[in-house]
Amino acid sequence: MSFRLGLVNPNTDDGHTTAMAAVAREMLPDAEIVPLQPERGPSSIESYADEAVAAALVVEVVRGTPDLDAYVIACFGDPGVDAARELVAAPVVGIREAAYRAVTLIARRFAVVTTLRRGIPELEDGLEREGVARRCVGVLPLEIPVAAQGAGHPDTTEAIVAVGRRAVDELGAEALVLACGGMADVARAVERGVGVPVCDGVAVGVLLAHALWRAGLATSKRGALAWPEPIPYRGMPALRA
């Protein structure tokens, strides 16, 4: 029986969805990768407000496709991840939490490469929330937006390599995390350029989701991630009848 994975891109950039699905298929060639994307919403996620909108759209998307074996939420802010967990019993993995779980198994210290400087506080807070702040030597911004990330933008890849080298040489990074789903298809190129392991959350996220499924570990339905309460919604369908 084949493993069916919902790969949720919380933004509306079809190109990113396609590129991330290709990464997922490379990692899990025998699985059925189901790319999911909201019909409306931001084309990329760069601010708290974009993320708030996207998290609600992740809820919509997962509610609309509730029968897959596992879900990956493929935006580095992990928008709506705990919300999605409430809506299904299958395991749900965010690419940020996946990347941090993987990188800390192969390095004692890592650095995070991100898009815009304004996102640094949110990333630092996320490192704290995930319990890995002490392992991170720095969050380094490119000042290049999400829209210009990915294999189609070789200049961006060069900029990532330059920033990554600085993280290794000056800050003591032993590995890098790429903090944007849009960077998924350049991880190997950056690794070659910098010379330390480079961790992309999409690749490790889909592998982790598969591992949880394989181990028979479903989302707990006791406590915080139980099915939503049956409360009325006005003007839109309730989460639970």
Smallest gap, in angstroms, from Cβ of residue 159 to a copy of itself? 18
Q: Which of residues 84-123 bind a copy of itself (CB under 8 A)?
A: 84-87, 91-93, 97, 101-109, 116-122
Least distance CB 154 / a copy of itself (angstroms): 21
Q: Which residue, 184, 156, 146, is CA-closest to 33?
A: 184
Return the number of other C-beta atoms located less than 10 Å from residue 26's C-beta: 12
> Which one-letter amino acid corresponds to residue 29?
P
Residue in the block written with tokens 């079809």: 14
Residue 200: strand pairing partners? 178
Using CB under 8 A as the binding rule, whether residue 145 contacts a copy of itself is answered as yes
Shortest reach from residue 23's CB to a copy of itself, in Å: 10
* Residue 50 contacts a copy of itself per CB under 8 A: yes
**Closest distance of CB 223 from a copy of itself, Å:** 4
Cα 73 from Cα 77, distance rounded (Å)? 9
Under rule CB under 8 A, residue 239 binds a copy of itself: yes
Q: Which is nearer to a copy of itself, 5 or 87 (CB)?
A: 87
The reply to whether 193 sits near a copy of itself by the rule CB under 8 A is no
Q: Name the packing angle between helices 201-214 and 95-106 (round to 10°).
A: 90
